[in-house]
Amino acid sequence: MGDPRWLTERELKTWQGFLMAGTLLTRKVEQQLRDDAGLSHPQYEVLARLSAADGELRMTELAGAALTSKSGLSYQVAQLEKAGLVGRRSCPSDDRGVIAYLTDEGQARLRAAAAGHAELVRTLFVDGLNPEQFTALADGVDALCGHLCTGEPCVEAG
């Protein structure tokens, strides 16, 4: 190994700020979804991804799109199934596969939660930054995702 490439003060500050912003944001989002709709953030994500995929998705696709491991997804889908928001059926083209689908109740719950969630994300994440700042953040995040997803099984391929 060569000399360690230490972070400059500014790089460190940005890194810590990035982590802190993520922590604060997810904490508030979590709290609001819980209070407002009785959902955790991972659960909301599952419902939202299913909805975006016309109501159904295979478990693996759902896990890949989301922020959890396979076992974590099994757990969350089981919780959502208990709550009647999601159902499971086997995949016709692959007997190993399981398709999770949004129930009517799940759609209703998602609809009920979505406006408040969007409002909060806007308040926390978009407002308070002027357009140039938001653009700056968006560009940086884009570049970061591109960098991180290189050679990674990333969210989507299209």
Partner DNA sequence: TACACGAAGTTCAAATTCGAACAATCTTGA
Partner DNA sequence: TCAAGATTGTTCGAATTTGAACTTCGTGTA
Q: Which helix (H) or strand (E) holds 21?
A: helix 9-37
**Closer by beta carbon to DNA, 79 or else 107:** 79
70 binds its own copies (CB under 8 A): no
127 binds its own copies (CB under 8 A): yes
Q: Give the one residue of 95, 96, 140, 158 binding its own copies; rule: CB under 8 A.
A: 140
Q: Give the one residue of 96, 147, 151, 157 binding its own copies; rule: CB under 8 A.
A: 147
* Distance separating alpha carbons of residues 70 and 63, to the nearest angstrom: 6
Name 8's Cβ contacts closer than 8 Å, sequence gap at least 6: none
Residue with tokens 């890194």: 15
Residue with tokens 């016309």: 54
108 binds its own copies (CB under 8 A): no
**Closer by beta carbon to its own copies, 83 or else 114:** 114
**Closer by beta carbon to its own copies, 94 or else 119:** 119
91 binds its own copies (CB under 8 A): no
Q: Which helix (H) or strand (E) holds 106?
A: helix 104-121
22 binds its own copies (CB under 8 A): yes
Which of the listed partners (its own copies, DNA, none) does 38 bind, with a CB threshold of 5 to 8 Å by partner kind?
Answer: none
Q: How far is the CB of 145 from its own copies (least distance, A)?
A: 5
* Distance separating alpha carbons of residues 74 and 117, to the nearest angstrom: 24
Q: What are the start-end ranges of the E strands in the chain?
A: 56-58, 86-91, 94-102
* Distance separating alpha carbons of residues 38 and 45, to the nearest angstrom: 13
* Distance separating alpha carbons of residues 37 and 110, to the nearest angstrom: 8
82 binds its own copies (CB under 8 A): no
- Footprint on this chain of its own copies (rule: CB under 8 A): 1, 4-7, 10-11, 13-26, 67, 114-116, 118-119, 121-122, 124-130, 133-150, 152, 155
